[in-house]
Amino acid sequence: MTDEVRDMIGKALDGEPPIVLTYDTVLGAGKRRRARRNLGIVGGAVLGVVAVASVAVTVNQLTAASPVDQPATTGTSAPTPPPPAGCVMPPRTGGFTRVPDGVGSQEELAESARLTAALARLDFRLPVGVTMDPVAPEMCAIDDSWGTTVNLRKGSVEAKVLIETMPRGGQPAGACSVPPHGSTCHVVVSSDGYVSRIDGSTRGLPDAPLVVDTWRPDDTLVRILEAGSGQQLLGEEALVRIASSPELKVDWSGPARVMPPEPSAGRAAQLTAVLMGGQVLPGNLGRRKVPGAVNSEPLAFYVSQGGYKVNVDLVDSSGEGNLFINLNPPAGVGSSVDCAGDPHCELGQLPNGRPAAVSRHVDGELIQLSVNTSTDDGAQVYLACVNQSVRTQSGSKRTRPEPPLTTADLMRIAALPGLHW
């Protein structure tokens, strides 16, 4: 359970902004704090004594968070250095597509060593004046991917670059989703079939990272992120070139993650057509966009948080309610439909025979009907209908006696043949 919970919590770190805090800032603050403390304790005369206090920390301790080395070889008399043993990314290192668990199989370590050796042959073609640390980065096993982090510096400008490579798993090349708030995103397709998406962040953060995803014809997907407190030191062209380099090709025949297509505006439009064509709403129900909706039509899917959502207020003579649909990507092995101990839930069956967890929750005046199920391709579908609209949402007050749709209506929607990832 811990891993599952950790993965869940780790999602809160998505979109992590680059670190502004510098070593010099911390060092200055630390020295000031130390000086104040020393003055407070023994007076200024002993400052020099403290300054020469012995250091009781070993280098081993300091490097506890560096890539986890594998058991060292014992051949101290070997005439040639042993081949790289591979490394594992320290657990919970952020910035990569998965949260590293700090564990790597022998096969993953072997690929780590191979990629590290390959990366050593890559010419980063650093711009004049830019230095890179470490000079020879290691591609460490993350989960089912391999990655590294390098620090770039030019004068006072610092940047951090994360490189991650993984099996593409047949995933179609991604596109730029419709940005809610002015993302800078575009796609570059090379003549030899490399598709790179360059995304300058959708979150409007200052110093937003530049992210390049390259779907390669050699069944490799490479993601490179450059983040810094100032100008970018590599930039789009260099990141695309690195992401397309043969040195980052993954050679992996072991188990790899499920790589469903990324959500796209095009697929959202198709899903909307499924919904509209299914005539799933009673004819007397009007549809209203919720405040702040990014979709142009009220009853429409839109890309959100790695999946597709519908959020629409429904209106008839009884009042206003809300329908919410969430379609999440296939969850892979282990996903199942169940009530997870919810006493208000029971297992049912959709018109197409698939199992569904159906619940009715009552909280004061509010009533929520929900259906949880999965599609043939493993996508997770969640529908909820409440007797309260968003437009008129007012605390815990209902805006109609019952939800505008019944459980049977929700199950009918969930069973629409075209409703899948």
Partner 1 sequence: VHDRDREFRAYFEARVAVIRRTAYLLCGDWHRAEDLAQTALAKLYVAWPRLNRGGQIDAYARKIVVRAAIDDSRRWFRRNETAVDTVPDMPAPAPGMDDMLDVRAALAALPPGQRAAVILRYWEDLPIAETAELLGCSEGTVKSQSAKGLLTLRRLLSAGRTVVEGQA
Which 6-45 residues touch partner 1, going by CB under 8 A?
6, 8-17, 19-21, 23, 25-27, 29-34, 37
Q: Which of 96, 215, 252, 382 binds partner 1 (CB under 8 A)?
A: 382
3-class SS string, the chain: CHHHHHHHHHHHHCCCCCCCCCHHHHHHHHHHHHHHHHHHHHCHHHHHHHHCCCCCCCHHHHHHHCCEECCCCCCCCCCCCCCCCCEECCCCCCCCCCCCCCCCCHHHHHHHHHHHHHHHCCCCCCCCCCEEECCCCCCEECCCCEEEEEEEEECCEEEEEEEEEEECCCCCCCCCCCCCCCCCEEEEECCCCCEEEEECCCCCCCCCCEEEEEECCCCEEEEEEEEECCCCCCHHHHHHHHHCCHHHCCCCCCCCCCCCCCCCHHHHHHHHHHHHHCCCCCCCCEEEECCCCCCCCCCCCEEECCEEEEEEEEEECCEEEEEEEEEECCCCCCCCCCCCCCCCEEEEECCCCCEEEEEEEEECCEEEEEEEEECCCCCEEEEEEECCCCCCCCCCCCCCCCCCCCHHHHHHHHCCCCCCC
We find the least distance from the C-beta atom of residue 19 to partner 1, in angstroms, to be 6
Site string for partner 1, 143-172 (x = CB under 8 A): --------x---------------------
* Residue 399 touching partner 1 (CB under 8 A): no
Scan residues 128-147 and list those touching partner 1 (CB under 8 A).
none
- For the window 71-110, what string marks contact with partner 1 as x by the rule CB under 8 A? ---------------------xxxx---------------
Residues of this chain, 48-67, that bind partner 1 according to CB under 8 A: 51-59, 61-66
- Footprint (CB under 8 A) of partner 1, residues 319-378: 322, 324, 326, 328, 340, 361, 363, 366, 368, 370, 372
Min separation Cβ 54 and partner 1, Å: 6
Binding-site size for partner 1 (CB under 8 A) equals 79
Q: How far is the CB of 399 from partner 1 (least distance, A)?
A: 12
Pick from 169, 180, 278, 286 the residue near partner 1 by CB under 8 A. Answer: 180
The residue within the footprint of partner 1, chosen from 119, 163, 315, 390 (CB under 8 A), is 390
305 binds partner 1 (CB under 8 A): yes
Interaction pattern, residues 225-254, with partner 1; x per rule: CB under 8 A:
------------------------------
